[in-house]
Chains A and B, each alone.
Chain A
């Protein structure tokens, strides 16, 4: 158990809908990262937050947005969903913005 909690574990929704994925980082970790991993694809870095502020942006679509709240949990919002958005979405946290991060078990999103 990495200490990073992601909810829900599974999500099935229809095209055009909007969903919110939630991540609770490890206790004391200030940095949160979001990743997308499609079937047989690599980990695509989406966005990083540090202590409530956006720190880095990767290949995140305009239909996607995220935020980190004062209690340090983070949410990833995906809107106008398309079939191609079906993937595993991982959240990771780290104490700072360094490279030793701990990953959650992921949310498997299926868009039908």
Chain B
């Protein structure tokens, strides 16, 4: 299972774009990169998943460089309600134990 490293916390203001980077130097060829969001006392919620280049959905974008040793979750125009913990997971699409690291605490201020 590839180890991931994320910043412990980040602060931002409403309306700004937030980029959270995750390092995964030992990512395997068949590993995917997945991001989850968790609010206090709630279960994590799947945000986005990608394998390479760029993936975009209605919530976020995921940028993955060619070497795939890192990835960046981009949240456009954050609001107070985006204050949460964001987790980066790396693993094979099948056979993964779905182990969460410490995550990044994002605080959005007004």
Contact = CB atoms under 8 A, between A and B. Distances in A.
Interface of A: 2, 4, 33, 35, 42-43, 45, 48, 56, 58, 88, 90, 92, 94, 96-106, 108
A45 B89 CA distance: 13
B45 A103 contact: yes
B55 to A, nearest CB: 12
B88 to A, nearest CB: 11
Given A45-B98, A45-B100, A99-B98, A105 B93 contact: no
Nearest to B43: A103
Contact of B44 (A43, A94, A98): A43
Contacts of B44: 43, 90, 92, 103
B49 interface: yes
A92 B94 contact: no
B95 A99 contact: no
B100 A99 contact: no
B81 interface: no
Contacts of B61: none
A88 B44 CA distance: 12
B93 A96 contact: yes
Contacts of A4: 43
Contact of A97 (B34, B96, B101): B96
Given A88-B41, A94-B98, 8 more contacts: A42-B102, A45-B97, A92-B43, A98-B32, A99-B32, A101-B98, A103-B42, A105-B43
Contacts of A106: 41-43
A90 to B, nearest CB: 5
Contacts of A98: 32, 92-94, 96
A102 B44 CA distance: 8
A31 B49 CA distance: 18
Contact of B42 (A33, A42, A105): A105
Contacts of B89: 99
A57 B8 CA distance: 26
